[in-house]
Copies of this chain bind each other. A is one copy, B any other.
Amino acid sequence: MAQSIRTQAELANELGLSRMTVQRALAGYQGVSEATRKRVMEAAQNHGYRPNAAARSIRTGKFGNVALLGSAEEGPGYLPRLLLSGAQQVAQENDICVMVSEHSREEFETQDFEPRVLSQWSTDGILINNQQEISDRLFEQVKAYKLPAVWLNVKLKANCVRPDDMDAGHRAATMLMDAGHKHIGYISHHGERHYSIEDRGEGVAKAVTDAGLKLTFNKHYDGFSICLGMENVMQWMDSPNRPTAVVCYEQQEAVSVYAAAMKLGLRIPEDLSIVSFGSSPCRIATGLPISTLVVPFEQVGRAAMAMLLDWIDTGEEENEPVALPFEYDEAGSIVPPVDA
């Protein structure tokens, strides 16, 4: 490897050129011959010279990066790939870099926890992805750093972006009732309680109640250890009081319901309509034709980063919370009930 060069001055010295010529050549300004520009670029590459972001950040007082600070735990730290992508796209459009920093629950709960992203990395702002439980301390600590900070997938009075789960629940039930269903159930299952479980369920229940009907059942299976599974689902499906349509909290429930229906000889959608929520369309993720309200994670990432960059720019510390609508992937699993 050729000798490493760290500054434009060193590069100019090496080439026997003035520092201004080197600077102009690297920046692509006019007033430098093509031959010189080529010579400078080649030398820069040979010597591993890269424009010095550190020096630039000292000049501007901004660091040109934001951090995604998250929980390293499976539940609270759930970080959908599309959310990261959406945030990263908007950052990139604005010439900003994204750093990722994840920490264990223990670390978050330590009295003097100070993630490097806050104390040392010198970042212009943070997105916070810690969905399960925001301790008052963490909240106050972030405030104390006086850094712009936007929260992901939580419900707060300001500075947060999340999917609109209640609206999605309402829409799911409404689609089923529009098709003629009067007996609708909701099933959910999750490792840790997340507000979306209740919100989707409340949306479903509200739509049903507003139509003068009653939710047939609302079943919640707690914890990954009591894994939902087909056998569980068959218990309630193989009864005369079973609903004609079921709303599923996530793909897992939808797959269990589908397989249980097949085993019991029920046809989907003729004997049982089904609609699921999901981080991706069930049809794509499983090969089963289950209509899905898809969580708009990419949009959440984009909107959160946009809010953060706006705050960094304007200093506006109180941004209206944003709740974004789900997308709908129609896969044909909702039809009128047999007796309609």
Does A146 reach chain B (CB closer than 8 Å)?
A: yes
Among A278-301, those with CB < 8 Å from B are 283-289
Interface string of A3-44 (1 = CB under 8 A from B): 010100000000000000000000000000000000000000
Q: Do A287 and B255 touch (CB < 8 A)?
A: yes
Among the 9-residue stretches A166-174, A223-231, A306-314, the one with 4 or more Cβ atoms under 8 Å from chain B is A223-231
A selection of 8 A-B contacts at a CB cut-off of 8 Å is A1-B146, A50-B119, A81-B81, A97-B99, A97-B117, A100-B100, A229-B287, A229-B289
Q: Do B122 and A51 touch (CB < 8 A)?
A: yes
Question: A98-B100, A251-B285 given. 12 additional CB < 8 A pairs?
Answer: A1-B146, A1-B317, A45-B144, A50-B122, A58-B58, A78-B81, A92-B101, A95-B116, A98-B99, A230-B287, A232-B287, A255-B255
Among A220-278, those with CB < 8 Å from B are 224, 227-230, 232-233, 251-253, 255-256, 258-259, 262-263
Q: How long is the Cα–Cα vector from A224 to B286 in the complex, in angstroms?
A: 11
Among the 9-residue stretches A82-90, A194-202, A206-214, the one with 4 or more Cβ atoms under 8 Å from chain B is A82-90
Does A63 reach chain B (CB closer than 8 Å)?
A: yes
Of A52, A224, A259, which is in contact with the most chain B CB atoms at under 10 Å from its CB?
A259
Interface residues of A (CB under 8 A from B): 1-2, 4, 6, 45, 48, 50-55, 57-58, 61, 63, 65, 68, 72, 77-81, 84-85, 88-89, 92, 95, 97-102, 116-122, 144-147, 189, 224, 227-230, 232-233, 251-253, 255-256, 258-259, 262-263, 283-289, 315, 317
A88 surroundings in chain B (CB, below 8 A): 72, 100-102
Q: Do B84 and A288 touch (CB < 8 A)?
A: no
Contact of A79 among B72, B84, B233, B258 (CB under 8 A): B84
Q: How long is the Cα–Cα vector from A251 to B288 in the complex, in angstroms?
A: 12
Q: How long is the Cα–Cα vector from A267 to B92 in the complex, in angstroms?
A: 51
A288 surroundings in chain B (CB, below 8 A): 229-230, 255-256, 259
A259 surroundings in chain B (CB, below 8 A): 255, 258-259, 262, 288
Q: How long is the Cα–Cα vector from A252 to B58 in the complex, in angstroms?
A: 50
User: Given known contacts A88-B102, A99-B97, is B119 in contact with A284 (CB within 8 Å)?
Assistant: no
Q: How long is the Cα–Cα vector from A317 to B120 in the complex, in angstroms?
A: 30
Q: How long is the Cα–Cα vector from A286 to B55 in the complex, in angstroms?
A: 51
Q: How long is the Cα–Cα vector from A230 to B289 in the complex, in angstroms?
A: 9
Closest to A104 in B: B89
